[in-house]
Structure formats: structure tokens, C-alpha cells
Structure 1
Amino acid sequence: MISLKNTIRKVIVGIILFIIVAFLINFWFVPTTKSYLNTSNQRIQTVKESVITLDLPMRVVENVLSQVSNDATNQSNIKLLEAYDKNQKQMINATMEMQTELDLIQMDLLAINKLSLSRHKALLNDMDDKLDELLLSASRINELIRGSKIDNTPFDIIKNYDVRIVQSIGELEALNKSFNNLVVRDFTILINGIIILLIVFLILFSLGVYKYVIYDQQFIIKSFEQMESKDYDFSHLPRMRSIFTEERDIFEKIKVIYEEEQFAKDVKEIILETYHIDDVIEKLFKTVSTRLNIDRVGIAFVDYSRKKFIAEFGFASYDVIKLGPGFEVNFGKTTLTKILYSKTSFITDDLEEELVKRPNSASLKLLMEEGVQSNLVVPLIMGEAVFGMVFFSSTEKHHFNQEHLRLAEKLIYEISGMLNRAYFTKVVLSRITNSFSELVDKKDNETGDHLLRMVRYSVIIAEGLRLAKIPNYDVNRKFVLEIERNASVHDIGKVGIPDEILKKPGKLDSNEWQVMKTHAAIGADIFKSLREGLQVFDADFYRFAEDIARYHHERWDGTGYPEGLEKHDIPLSARIVAIADVFDALTSKRHYKEPFSFERSLEMVQESAGTHLDPVLVELFIKHQDKIWLVYQENV
């Protein structure tokens, strides 16, 4: 495929050369050739005139000689001698003039031969031969007449040479006419060639304009029209026939723009369907991981009041994420602070090298433990302020380039508002739900840490289950996240239980117990009502919370409430929360009991396996008792 730029350059050079050649032809070659031809023609005419001039004195000399030969008594006739001498000189002058003109004609022929690039060399050689014959005859006449006296003139020889001259000059004229015709033909071909070249240039230019108007321009205009209407289907564009590399580049560039715009549009549409920041990050990772060939996406938000960066949910192609929700770092202890002022993205090609420079960076250490080797960081901007950052990470060093940076910036620019909305939604819903749960917890429990502990216990079980990959217990990161979000709402239905029952120091009677058991359905109905009201946004909004609230008092053996479900019919989320709730209840002080020890509480949980609690989950809970202990001992 040829380059339009190079073609235009060559065309311009060709046009310049064409103009120069046309200028030279018109103002130098043609006039010069014409001048030589005209001069040559004139000199041939001059030679003919010299032949005519030679003819008269020859006739006089012949007459004089005839009189001398017929009348021997008149040899001393002075008048005859004078006539002879006079015409002898005229013959000498005529032959000398003839020789001069013939020499000049030969010189003209040499010049014309060069101008014609020896194209007509054969004909010019024939003309040159005739000129040589003429020169020889003229020279011989001149020599003979000079060396003759009236009584010894070889007139027959001289006359023979004169006949040759007349014959040669006729042949020279014929050759000259042929040569003139050839030159005229050359001029005609030259002019026609120039005209044809001009027509070819005009046709090519017209075809180029036609192609641009019919194909290229329509392709470009249509591409902008489609972009304006948010239609990024490349197949809807008219076909573009690429001849030049620049056309191919335009085609490829528009195709890349369409693909990127469609990619951004797809991401936006996916995120528009999501209202929680953690779900947004998960879907963002699944959408961009292949395009950018990345291994991790994370997000952090800026808390200007506390001067901290707060890490939110991250999603990766590998199992263990070390740097996750809850990680905080002060502005003064991280280089991320510069992004608040520069508002520009940056790439860190080698985190290992960066850790050498900043060995006290906790975030770098955690990322290195995950296997991350390089980062691309893009700021989230609303108005004039940076409200967060998105981290695209790879397990390869020097993975990211300027093309990755450009595409990531474009994508984040398109979705930054939605990320802000999703984060705001999370904060609002989380605070409303947690505040409601804490209100119930304070109403029912003597300590305010029950929710915090049982949520952490639940997350330990769920995360352990995710890593264990037990058949029929498939758990992904989203499930773990849902547990973390919703475990605290398990007893929210107790808000509908009278205080005299909820806070009764002694054992509840049968009627009171029936009332107490209604809290599961009350809590579930609260979330069902919320879910139905929000289903226009997400049909499963609060379904996870609803399942936990309704079923966390079901028992493995089917003797629980409110529906008497058993084994795997009980939602996994409710089975996990049940263990965390039971364990924290055992280790906590209540108005009706003292706390059991950590070890005894573990034993009681184990004793409940297979009757009250899921035995597989209990085994997993005991397996991670070291992590359970860390949570437990913080509140002892």
C-alpha cells in the first residue's frame, strides 16, 4: 500500500519537473531547434543560390573557351581574356561562399543532433554525407578554376563537378525536408505527450476528489454522525476502500475510537445497572481485565476531613487480596498525595524498586505480597476536586504503556460520576442499615460490639469457605462481600418485639417465645418491603439481607424457625451468620447470663454441629479459630 504523503510529494515534484520541462521545451528547446532548422534551411537556400551564381560565370567561361578554340587568331583578344578572368573570379567566390555555408550547415546539424538526443542520427548522417560530397565538389571546382588559364582550363571536369553539385543539392533538400518533417512530428508528439500527461494528472486528481467525496468523506461524516448518536457499531459505516496508507490509518483510527467508545459505553451500561461500589469494582474488573490485560482493580477514596486515603473493595484474578477495605493511610505517608494537586494519572513500572525507595510503605508491602509488580493510577475527579483513585495492577513489571494510560483515563472520565454515585449509595445505605442494626443491638445487648464481632466472625467463615473450595459450598468474593455488608442486620426484626419480652431477665414463657420468634419474619419483611420498593433499580436489592434476617434461626436438623427448613434448604448466608451469632452470644454477657470462655464456647459450637449448625461450616470455623481468637481477644 502506497503512502498518500509520499505520493503527493512525488506528484508535486512531478508537476514541478513537468513545469520546468514544459518551460524549457517552450522557451528554449523549441525556439533553439527552430532557430537551427531555419538557419540550416536558409543556408541550404544560400548554397542553392551559390550554385545559381556559379552557373552564369561557368556559362560565360564555357562560351569564352569555345570562342578561343574556334578562332585561334583571336587568342590575343583582350576582351575575351578580361571576360575569362572576371568570371573565373566569380566562380572562385561562388565556390568559396558555397564551402563556407556548407561548413556552417554541418555545424548546425551537429547541434540539432545533440538537441534531438541523436534520435535521427541516421538521417543526419545521410545529410552530412551529402554535405561532404558538396564540399568536395565545390572544393575541386575551386581548385581547378584557380589553377587554370584560358588556354588550359579543364572545363569538362569542372562542369562534371557542377552537375554533381546540382544533383547533391537536390538530394540534400529532399533529406532536409524529411528531417524537417521528423522534427515537426517530434514537436507534435511532444506537445501531445504534454497534453496527455496533463489530462492524466487531471483524471487522477478528479478520481482522487471523486473517491474522497464518494467514499472517504462519506465514511468520515457518517462516523461522526454515528458517534454523535452514540452508535458505535462499525459495521453500520459505509465501506472505505483504502488505497493509501493514510486512508488505512484513518480507517484504523476511527475503528479504534469506535471500539474504545463502545467499550466505554458497555462499561457505563454495566455500571449503570449497579448501585453499590463493590459490585461496580467487580464488574469493572471483569470488563476491563481482558482489554488492559490486568490482574487487579482497586479503588480508594479521599477523606479530606481526616486527611486520609481509604481503600475500598478490590477485585483480582488471584485468590488472596491483602490490600482491601478498611486500609487507611495518612496524606503525609504516601506519594499518592501528589495526585490531589496534579490531578494527573501516573504509572509505577516496578513496585519492587519503589519499595526499595520507600521501605516503610505498608500499601506497597501488601501489594507485593499479592504479587503485584506494576500499577496504573487514575484520579477520580468531580468538579475541581479529586475524590478518589482507581488502581489498575499487573503481576508483570513494566506492563503499562501510554496506550493503557490513555484508555484508562478515557474510561474513568466516562464513569467517574457513576463511581461517585455508587460510593455515595454504599455509604448512605451502609450507615442507614448499620444505624438501624445498632439501635436494635443496643436495645437487646449490654455491649455495643456484638454486631462488629459477629460480622467479622461471619467474614472469616465466608472467606475460609471461598479459599477451601468445598463442593456444594461454592463462594466467590461477591458472596464474602455480601456477608460483610449484611450480617449485622440479622436481628433487625427485634425492633418489633416489645421491651418487656426482649429484655426479660428470666426465661420466656411459651406465648412470649412465640412473639420473640416473629422477629425473624419481621426483619425479613422490612427488607422485602425495601427490595420491592427498589426493584426498579435492582430486583435483588436487599435479598441477601432478607435471607439472613429470615433464616438465621433455622436449624440443620429442621427444628428451627420460622419455616423449619433443614440442611442445604437453609440459605448458606443464614447458616454462616447463625454460627457467628451463636458463638458471639456464648462469649458475650447478657442480662440473663454470664459469658462462656473462648474454649468452652468453641466446644459448644462443635456440639451443635449436625443438629443446630452446619457441620461443614462448624469444622471450618474451628479450623480458623486462631483468627476467631484475634477478634475475640480484642474485646475481652
Structure 2
Amino acid sequence: MNYKWAKYIIMILFIVISTFFYIVASNKMKIVNQEVLITSKCENDLTEVLTDIESLYEYQDYLPNEIFFEKINGIYAHMAAAEIDHYNDLRKKDFEDLRLEVSRLKDETSKSKKSLISTVSKLKKERDNTLFLTVIIIVLIVFIEFISYTRFSSDITKYLKKIEVKDYDFKIRRSSLPFSSDIYSKIDYLRLNLKAIDEAISGTLKGYGIKETLSEIFTNINFKRYISFDRIGFATINKDRIIASFSFSDNKEIHFKQGFNILLEESSLSKIKSKTDLRIINDLDQYFLEKPHSMSTELLIKDGYKSSLTAPITDPNGNIAGFLFFSSRKKNNYVENDKYKVLSISDILSSIFSKNMLIDDLVSNAALGFVKLVEDKDPETGSHLERMQKYSRIIAMDMLNKGIYPNEIDINKVEDIYKYAPLHDIGKVGIPDKVLLKPGRLTPEEMDVMKRHSEIGSRVLILFEKNLRRYEHNFFSSAINISLCHHEKWDGTGYPNSLKGVLIPIEARVVSVADVFDALCSKRVYKEAFPFEKGVEIVTSLSGTSFDPKVVESFLDCLDDIRSVYNDLKEI
């Protein structure tokens, strides 16, 4: 038999069997519920009888004996005093015996009622478990089908739309089924989970990448019903450090800023070894008392957060590549069940992360191909590209850590600058060899030809960018800015467009300082290399004319790191 049909037959059989057990449990519940109602009525009646007996017993103390006897038994209106005393004793004993008997019956009835209620709860649990298991099996089979037949994110959204439960349809079903309110709430919960995950996947299509997806999640009210949070953060592992990539919150003032980084081995996150190792901290204040050197915890507390839930993000090989953070302003906000909710989200983000890595690798390899073209034409550029690439990253990271140009520099921009800095001169592949490789200074005419390399490089990258538009992500926007604008000057005297000040893209402003400094300290056919200190002096003198003063300031603040790269990679 065809595997596909066999699978559906098994699913139908399972539903039929589950439905049978569900009906049996429901009928049992109906019978027991009737018994509970009868027992409850008996209990109420006995309670009223006991109340009457106790009231009547108290009432006799306030009336003459003869009136009392006449009230109870009219024939005893006139009795001798001795007989009255005798009957007083008897009636007290009768009252006490009756009260005890009724109390006993009431206690037995209460116990019987509790037993019946317990039976109802068990039957209800069995019925609910049957329904829940049926839903889980169906969802599991649908999920297997989903994995088998959907290979692209766009197909995922189409598939989920097919199984989406519409509000009006759900109301009709609800009115026609004899479920308890508890069952309805469970169905609502499952439906909400499905809708939340559906919207997470849909969010990945609106803007390619993790940042866009988490932004969608943060603003989505269904996710805040799915799991409670006031902040979402994301961090990546770069070599041996954890770097805060970005976060979303409603805080106007933020202490835990992007770019914050610590050594992985110094963080408790180093204990997370697999994607199922999720961490809950429900009292950050207490946690900080126990670990007072945790800077990240201190910053979260300053931002007003009291509890957090952390999930790992994995790369295509299953290695931990980053972390997803949910934080709340409430203590004890997370329970174990929240781990399973976040795990489904982290799986989606790990998939996106893996795809990003694949595409980034392809783009990076293409970029390296461009760089290789330049190196083959001009061998002097090889070491220069590696040095200026590292200089650029050091400067950009310092600016990020200091909060300089926060609207222009984030951790992703720092990585783009590092990745694409070597592409600044790719346009030189279009410069004639007699100009590019001339062993001496260029004439004014030859310089005009050489200046064309910035526009040539940007045109090549723009063409490449157009071919990647279907991914809805601007992979080469930073590379284009670097290639086109790295010869623009802060005072507007640069080329090709005489841009001035902050109109020059931040990537180009950073790369231009790194490029010029390394050119000054490198040997060329037309000059000797300047000493390190002389190169620093010249760059400093050009602050405010050729270079952005704030970029130069970061360059000077990082001279120790700059010198380390210079010594490691300098040409001998």
C-alpha cells in the first residue's frame, strides 16, 4: 500500500478510536454529574434539617416547658412537674441523638460528593487527554507533511493559511459541540500557539533576517499572549566573545546597548551546550547578588527587568552560534512550559540564521573573488587590504561602544564594514594597466582616469545587488557606499560627488581613515613607508578637513590595537 495513504488511514483510525473513548468518557461524566447533583441536593437538605434541629433545641431554653410540649405534642399541655422533668431529659437525649444522626448522614453525603467530584475530574482528565493527544497527533502528522513538502519560507506561509482556524468557523464549531469551558480554553490555547508561530514565519518573509522577524514578534500582540515579555534581545558568538547584536523594548533610556560584548568563557551562557538547553532566571536581583561580576545582569537590572528566559540559536552544524533573550519586568515570570514555547521560536530563528550564514558565505566568497581580481592586477594591495580591513573594524567597534552616531552604527554595520572594507578599490579592475601599474606619480590626466575606479566599483556592486533583490535584503548596500564614497572628504573637496560632512555614508568615513593611514605607512613604487607615528600625525592633522573628527577620535583612542595589527602584518 502506498505509504502516503497508509499514513492517512492510520490517522483516521486513531481519530475514530479517540472519538470512541471521548464519547464513553463523556457519557460516564454525564451519569456521575447527575449523581453529584442529587448528592448536593441531599447535602443541602440535611444541612437545613440540622440547622432546624439546632434552632429548635436552642428555642426550648426560652419557653416554659408546658408551652414547649404543647408546641411539640399538644396532648402534653398539662403534666406534673416530675413528669415534665422526666420528659425534659428524654427530649434532650432525643435531640442530641437526632442531631448526631443527621450530622453523620451529612458527613457521609459530603464524602460521597467529594468522591463523585473526584471521579468527574478523573473522567474529565481522561477525556481532555484523549482530545489533547488527538490534536497533538494531528498537528504532528501535519508538521511531518509540512517538513516533507515545504522547502522554502513562502511555501510555509501558504501551508499554514490552509490549516488556519477562522474565528467565525471556530465559533460555529464551539456552539455545536458539548465541550466544557476548560476544553474550549485548551482549544483556544492551541489555536493561539498555531497563530503565533504562523505569524513568526510570515514575519520572516516581510524582511529577510532575524532582526526583522524579532521586530515583528515584539509588536505582535498574539506573541505577548503566547509568552509574556517586555524585551527581546539577540546576541551572536564571534570567535570567543558574545556580542549583543540588537534588542527591542519600550524603554526610552537603555543601558544594555548593542555592541556590548564579553568573553564567552566568562559568561554562564558557556554552560549551554545544545539547542534544548534553555535557561530561566526568575529573580535577576538575587542572581546578581550571587554573581556580582555579571555585567549583563547588572545592565538588565538597570533597565528595569526582573526575570529572563534564554534560548540558544544554532548554526547549520548544530553548534551554538547565538542567543535569544526574553526579559520581563516581573519576577517569577517564566515557568518550565515557557521553555517549550520559546524552543519553537528559536528553531525558526536558527533556520533563518543558517540561511543567512549560507547566503552571507556566498556573498562573502563573491566579494573575495572581486578582491582577488584587484590583487592579481596590483600585488601591492594584498597586505594592505588585510590591514585596513582590521583597522576599519577596530575603529567602528570603538564608535559603537561609545555610542557615536547611534543611528548609523550598530553591530551589523560594524560587521558590514569589516566584511566589505576590502572592496573599496574593486573598481581598479576597470582601470588600464598603464595607469594602475605606472611606477611613479600620475599626471593630472592619469589621475582623472584613476578617480573613475570608485564609480566603476559601485556600478559593478549595484548590478550584483539587483540580482539579489529577490531575497528582499540589501546585501551590498554598505559595499556600494564604501566603493563609491571612500574618497569623499569631510569638507566637501573629495570625489566623485563632493559630498560633505555626515552626507558621506558612515562606512566610507571609517574606511577612508583606515585606508589612508595604511597607505601612509606602506611602501609604494613612488614613495617609502612613513613610520607609524608619522602616519598617526598626518591622519590627526587631516581631522575636520579630509576626515570626520569623531572617526579620527576613535582612531586615536584605539592606537594600541591599531599598532598591534600594524606589527603583526607590516611588510618587511
TM-score of the aligned structures, taking structure 2 as reference length: 0.58
Pick from 493, 505, 515 the counterpart of residue 581 of structure 1. Answer: 515
Matches within 5 A, 1:293-372: 293-294=230-231, 296-299=233-236, 314-316=245-247, 318-319=256-257, 321-323=259-261, 335-337=271-273, 339=274, 344-347=276-279, 349=281
Question: What's the offset of the Cα at 1:470?
Answer: 5.1
Cα 1:563–1:583 shift into 2, 3 Å: same
Q: Higher Cα Rg: structure 1 or 2?
A: 1
Cα 1:436–1:407 shift into 2, 3 Å: same
Tell me whether 1:453 sits opposite 2:476 in the alignment: no
Aligned counterparts of 2:234 and 2:537: Cα–Cα separation in 1: 41
SS at match of 2:359: helix
Aligned counterparts of 2:492 and 2:313: Cα–Cα separation in 1: 52
Matches within 5 A, 1:251-270: 251-270=184-203
Cα 1:294–1:539 shift into 2, 3 Å: closer
Question: What's the offset of the Cα at 1:597?
Answer: 2.2
Superposed CA deviations along residues 279-311 of structure 1, whole A, max 9, x for unmatched, are 76787788789854455323559xxxxxx9997
For structure 2, the residue ranges without an aligned partner over 5 or more in a row are: 1-25, 42-72, 76-130, 143-158, 249-255, 302-306
Aligned counterparts of 1:631 and 1:281: Cα–Cα separation in 2: 36
Matches within 5 A, 1:387-402: 388=320, 390-393=322-325, 400-402=334-336
Aligned counterparts of 2:406 and 2:271: Cα–Cα separation in 1: 45
Q: CA RMSD in A?
A: 4.9
Matches within 5 A, 1:169-568: 229-231=162-164, 234=167, 237-238=170-171, 247-275=180-208, 291-294=228-231, 296-299=233-236, 314-316=245-247, 318-319=256-257, 321-323=259-261, 335-337=271-273, 339=274, 344-347=276-279, 349=281, 376-378=310-312, 380=314, 386=318, 388=320, 390-393=322-325, 400-441=334-375, 443-446=377-380, 448-469=382-403, 474-538=408-472, 540-568=474-502
SS at match of 1:594: coil
Question: What's the offset of the Cα at 1:459?
Answer: 2.9
Aligned counterparts of 1:328 and 1:442: Cα–Cα separation in 2: 39
**Greater RCO, CA 8 A, separation 6+:** 2
Q: What fraction of aligned residue pairs are identical, expressed as a percent?
A: 29
Cα 1:503–1:471 shift into 2, 3 Å: closer
Superposed CA deviations along residues 125-157 of structure 1, whole A, max 9, x for unmatched, are 99x9xxxxxxxxxxxxxxxxxxxxxxxxxxxxx
Aligned counterparts of 2:387 and 2:240: Cα–Cα separation in 1: 25
Question: What's the offset of the Cα at 1:272?
Answer: 3.0
Question: What's the offset of the Cα at 1:612?
Answer: 1.7
Question: What's the offset of the Cα at 1:13?
Answer: 4.3
Tell me whether 1:615 sits opposite 2:549 in the alignment: yes
Cα 1:297–1:253 shift into 2, 3 Å: farther
For structure 1, the residue ranges without an aligned partner over 5 or more in a row are: 19-124, 129-215, 302-307, 359-363
Superposed CA deviations along residues 160-201 of structure 1, whole A, max 9, x for unmatched, are xxxxxxxxxxxxxxxxxxxxxxxxxxxxxxxxxxxxxxxxxx
Cα 1:418–1:11 shift into 2, 3 Å: same
Question: What's the offset of the Cα at 1:476?
Answer: 3.2
Aligned counterparts of 2:381 and 2:550: Cα–Cα separation in 1: 30
SS at match of 2:452: helix
Question: What's the offset of the Cα at 1:529?
Answer: 0.5
The answer to whether the 8 Å contact 2:210/2:349 transfers is no
- Give the length in aligned residue pairs: 413
Aligned counterparts of 2:233 and 2:488: Cα–Cα separation in 1: 38
Question: What's the offset of the Cα at 1:485?
Answer: 3.0
Aligned counterparts of 2:240 and 2:391: Cα–Cα separation in 1: 26
Question: What's the offset of the Cα at 1:573?
Answer: 2.1
Aligned counterparts of 2:517 and 2:538: Cα–Cα separation in 1: 8
Cα 1:510–1:389 shift into 2, 3 Å: closer
Cα 1:473–1:444 shift into 2, 3 Å: farther
Q: Partner of 1:10 in structure 2? A: 33
Cα 1:595–1:309 shift into 2, 3 Å: closer
Aligned counterparts of 1:407 and 1:251: Cα–Cα separation in 2: 20
TM-score of the aligned structures, taking structure 1 as reference length: 0.53
Aligned counterparts of 1:389 and 1:257: Cα–Cα separation in 2: 30
Cα 1:483–1:379 shift into 2, 3 Å: closer
